[in-house]
Structure 1
Amino acid sequence: MTSPESPTESPSVRVWLVEDHDLLRKTLARLCVPSRRIVCPHAFGNAEAMLTELKRSKGDELPEVLLLDVGLPGRSGLEIIGDVHQLAPDCRVVILTVFEDEKKIGAAISAGACGYLVKTARPEEIVAAIHEAAEGGSPMSPAVAASVVHILAKLTKPSPKVSLTPREQEILGLIVEGLTAKEIAEKLDVSVHTTDTHTRHLFKKLGVHSRAAAVARALKDNLVAR
């Protein structure tokens, strides 16, 4: 049996948290423990403090996943997603909110968030969402997931034709099917790193920042066979 300290155990996901409600922030931080393969070195009450720390951080100090509240004092969560991507390009942003508002959902994902969770999500759903985001997925609360592609399709403006390599075309098709980065790597018999590289090039060509936005673009512009 593999022990918790086994070197084959997956490394913990490094999570930063921005939530202005003290009790909820502490509750969320308590979910991030080694037994769940999550660590949370920083939890902030506002966006400005988080960005200050982000500017000071580098390398393996940077967050892999950022849980970000929308309704913050000062700058809102939606306003700073672009700043986060500039300072930590590989960070996966998951929005936390009490709202299931179409405009806010669309704005968050269009800005580059990879997922959208309501704060009433159960602890195990939040833990699963963190791991899904870290693996390249787009975690969504069920009520959000049911309409997100429709929302993004409405928000997506007509785009010029894009030329994809056969590998990018294949990966886009698998993303549309809902496979995670790990599952795509296994299916293509390549490393997750290789899959991530192709995915980043694909996203750049499509002009998107998230898997959800890539799916919306693929469906709207008929980029994959259905």
Structure 2
Amino acid sequence: MEEIKVVIVEDDDEIRNGLAYLINSSPGFLCLAKYSNSEDFLKDFLQKKKDKNYVLPDVILMDINLPGMSGIECIKKIKETNKSIQIMVLTVFEDHDTIYKSLKAGATGYILKKTATTELLDAIKDIYNGGSPMSSQIARKVVLSFQEQKTSNETQNLTPREQEILNYLAMGYRYKEIAALLFISVETVRTHIRNIYEKLHVQSRMEAVLKLQQK
């Protein structure tokens, strides 16, 4: 089994070292490096990226409240240089504004620090495999947020079933899980999602969720 390569950006020494230990002691995971601030990480990342032999991380665990450059700003800069790297926010912040700004900056996962270690490892696997993991509290906030927003002309075009599927996508459910919940085939789910993306003029799950969140 190929190891999932992880980089940690976290200013709390105890949390940073604990995460590194957890990752390195878990089969199928490898902590490539750990940093206490955004500046050191970006400097190292941009320097090493020039080396063709440099092994890029698969997943970056990013704190938000960092000294100097914030985690959100760091996410933006990472995505400007490499759009394929998956970034999962790991934070204590649960407010709508921070969640929205993190997802808009390019994060594809949002997990709270109080998450159990087994769930955290599952979330890293999920984001590596193309999912968008979120703590249940965060997923609920995201869904409630766009349900409360006035719908635009684009979102009004979604059918009730498409809206239902989009809700499940926002909560991090996979296609197979959605199919099982709605008693339809995975291919039918894919068809609905293609229609959702076309109606909202987006190309990914996060773009669709953000489109619904826009005021």
TM-score (structure 1 length as normaliser): 0.68
Secondary structure of 2:23's match? coil
CA distance in 1, matches of 2:145, 2:102: 11
**Distance in 1 between residues matched to 2:208 and 2:18, nearest whole Å:** 32
Correspondence for 2:174 among 176, 179, 196: 179
Matched residue, 1:49: 40
Specify the alignment match of 1:167 in structure 2: none
CA contact (8 A) 2:3 2:29 kept: yes
Partners of 1:105 and 1:148 lie apart in 2 by 8
| Unaligned stretches of 5+ residues in structure 1 | 1-8, 162-171, 189-194, 222-226
Offset of 1:180 from its aligned partner?
5.7
Q: Give the corresponding residue for 1:150.
A: 144
Equivalent in the alignment of 2:20: 29
| Superimposed CA distance per residue, residues 106-133 of structure 1 (whole angstroms, 9 cap, x where no aligned partner) | 1111211111111111111111111111
- Are the aligned partners of 2:39 and 2:69 in contact in 1 as well (CA < 8 Å)? yes
Match for 1:112 among 98, 106, 110? 106
Percent same amino acid at aligned positions? 31
| 1:100 maps to amino acid | E
Structure 2 portions without partners, runs of 5+: 156-165, 180-185
**Alpha-carbon distance between aligned partners in 1 of 2:133 and 2:14, rounded to the nearest angstrom:** 23
The normalised TM-score by structure 2 is 0.71
Q: Counterpart of 1:118 in structure 2: which amino acid? A: L
CA contact (8 A) 1:96 1:119 kept: yes
Q: Secondary structure of the residue that 1:41 maps to in structure 2?
A: strand
Does structure 2 retain, via aligned residues, the 8 Å contact 1:106–1:151?
no
Deviation, 1:15, is 0.8
Query: Do residues 64 (structure 1) and 55 (structure 2) align?
Result: no
Cα distance in structure 1, aligned partners of 2:105 and 2:19: 24
Displacement of 1:156? 10
Aligned residue identity for 2:43: T
1:139 is matched with which residue: 124, 133, 140?
133
Q: CA deviation at 1:81?
A: 1.2
Displacement, 1:87? 2.0
Deviates more, 1:127-136 or 1:142-151: 142-151
Pick closer, same or farther for the CA change 1:39–1:159 going to 2, 3 Å.
farther
